[in-house]
């Protein structure tokens, strides 16, 4: 029984009105309730974190348990600037253009709160990572979702038309939940439109090291884009430390100066011991990143083949660790997900949670888990097939 409200009026602000809780995290709780194998929320297994990065965090608890300055540990900001210069050829001043946030989601929300005025149009591609929808609402922005479900391509005409009426474009690349990697020519088109319409681009590049195609470039490598872009990224997926909550916002000084105002007064600083460990993480050799992508590519192939073998219809991703999967029959996606948990013991996320409105005819599997766990989930699907 919910506790009766002592108030005679609704207490939620307009800013949160109608907002639903995260379906991704709800599916994780549902998985726990039914003892299902969790292939819903993108969580890696514990032993995936490089041991020397974990050790650095343990050591740092003894020496560094107080606040860092609000923009982040200087040594970490310097290391971030060095690595991003190597990786993407873009230089960011660690003093004024690199901000360490409490996870990448905070980077996105702080950026939108700082740069989006009420009523400003914010473009994002749908299906979309679910947290952009509330982030736009927090900022009072006007959502402009552009559907890429069929073909996973940016439609030039729709983007041009939408951009004329927008001030911000959110670009998640590689893309969650589809695993899509936009082609360099699509990104060039985005850059042209952004320049023509004077858009600020907010990229979420949390899967930047989990790509399986040579065709991948970071948006900031495209001529002219870095100057109008806030890159939101972080440690969670690259070093398998999703619970540490260390994100990075990289942006030219005029954009960084604004987002830092929100960051300063909301999170003060990201957890200090984990920032220290971040210096260690960002110092890992280059083959760490090659091995990481190769390891997820193997898991992608196992899941893809296995899902096809049990009569499902997955789309093979070029990046990130999610797989959009269609299923036979005409039950809606939420019903199918719930039945998968209860009858097959495997948790996924219903596709509809990645749209501003409406239902979907697919579910999202993650292959962030280790190979034995993915194999065990496939066995359960095979043995408990109801579709
Ligand atoms: N990014 C991860 C996912 O898409 C987890 C984030 C979350 O808890 N919503 O599953």
Digit-coded pLDDT (tens) for 255-304: 999 999 999 999 999 999 999 999 999 999 999 999 999 999 999 999 99
**Burial classification of residue 276, based on how many CB atoms lie within 10 Å of its CB (0-12 exposed, 13-18 middle, 19 or more buried):** buried
Task: For residues 180 and 117, give the distance between their C-alpha atoms in angstroms, rounded to a whole number.
Answer: 30
Candidates 31, 230, 17, 24; CA nearest to 112 is: 230
For residue 359, what pLDDT is reported?
85
Q: How far is CA 123 from CA 91, 104, 204, 271, 300, in A?
A: 27, 19, 13, 31, 29
Q: What pLDDT is recorded for position 200?
A: 98
352: preceding bond cis by omega (within 30 degrees): no
- How close is the Cα of 23 to the center of ligand 1, in Å? 10
Check whether the bond before 127 is cis (ω within 30° of 0). Answer: yes
Whole-number Å distance between alpha carbons of 327 and 338: 14
Kindly give the distance from the C-alpha atom of residue 149 to the centroid of ligand 1, in angstroms, as a whole number. Answer: 19
Cβ of 176 less than 6 Å from ligand 1: yes
Q: For a substitution probing ligand 1, which of 19, 39, 129 has the most ligand atoms within 8 Å of its CB?
A: 129
Residues comprising the chain, all counted = 387
Is the shortest distance between the CB of 25 and ligand 1 below 6 Å?
Answer: yes
> Which is the closest atom of ligand 1 to the Cα of 206?
1
Cβ atoms < 10 Å from Cβ of 376: 15
CATH class in words for 61-281: alpha beta
- Nearest atom of ligand 1 to the alpha carbon of 42: 10
Rounded mean pLDDT, 73-99: 98
Q: How confident is the model at residue 333 (pLDDT cuts 50, 70, 90)?
A: very high
Compute the distance between CA of residue 62 and CA of residue 110 in angstroms, rounded to an integer.
30
Domain borders along the chain are 14-48+287-383, 61-281
Q: How many CA atoms lie within 13 A of 86 on its CB side?
A: 9
The CA 25 to ligand 1 mean position distance, Å, reads 7
User: Rounded to whole angstroms, how far apart are CA atoms 132 and 124?
Assistant: 8
Average pLDDT, the chain: 96
Contact, 117 vs 140, CB < 8 A? yes
**CATH architecture for segment(s) 14-48+287-383:** Alpha-Beta Complex (3.90)
């Amino acid at each position: 029984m919910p506790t009766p409200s002592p108030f005679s009026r609704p207490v939620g602000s307009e800013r949160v009105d109608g907002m639903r809780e995260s379906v991704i995290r709800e599916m994780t709780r549902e998985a726990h309730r039914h003892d299902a194998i969790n292939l819903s929320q993108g969580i890696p297994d514990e032993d995936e974190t490089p041991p020397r990065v974990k050790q650095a965090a343990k050591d740092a608890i003894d020496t560094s348990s107080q606040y860092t300055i609000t923009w982040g540990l200087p040594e970490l900001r310097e290391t971030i600037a060095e690595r991003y210069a190597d990786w993407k050829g873009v230089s960011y001043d660690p003093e004024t253009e690199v901000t360490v946030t409490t996870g990448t989601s905070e980077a996105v929300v702080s950026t939108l709160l700082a740069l989006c005025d009420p009523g400003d149009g914010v473009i994002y591609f749908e299906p979309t990572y679910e947290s952009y929808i509330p982030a736009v609402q927090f900022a009072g922005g006007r959502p402009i979702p552009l559907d890429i479900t069929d073909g996973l391509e940016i439609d030039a005409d729709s983007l041009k038309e939408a951009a004329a009426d927008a001030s911000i474009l959110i670009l998640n690349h590689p893309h969650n939940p589809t695993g899509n990697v936009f082609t360099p020519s699509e990104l060039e088109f985005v850059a042209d439109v952004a320049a023509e319409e004077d858009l600020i681009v907010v990229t979420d590049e949390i899967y930047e090291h989990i790509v399986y195609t040579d065709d991948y470039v970071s948006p900031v490598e495209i001529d002219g884009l870095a100057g109008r872009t806030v890159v939101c990224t972080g440690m969670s997926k690259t070093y398998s430390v999703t619970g540490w909550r260390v994100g990075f916002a990289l942006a030219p000084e005029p954009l960084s100066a604004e987002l830092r105002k929100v960051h300063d007064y909301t999170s003060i600083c990201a957890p200090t011991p984990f920032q220290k460990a971040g210096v260690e993480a960002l110092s890992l050799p280059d083959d760490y990143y090659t091995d990481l992508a190769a390891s997820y590519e193997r898991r992608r192939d196992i899941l893809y083949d296995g899902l096809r073998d049990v009569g499902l219809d997955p789309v093979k991703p070029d990046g990130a660790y999610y797989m959009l999967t269609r299923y036979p029959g005409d039950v809606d996606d939420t019903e199918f997900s719930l039945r998968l948990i209860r009858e097959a013991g495997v948790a996924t996320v219903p596709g509809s949670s990645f749209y501003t409105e409406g239902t979907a005819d697919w579910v999202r599997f993650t292959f962030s888990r280790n190979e034995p766990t993915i194999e065990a989930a496939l066995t359960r699907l095979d043995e408990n097939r109801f579709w």
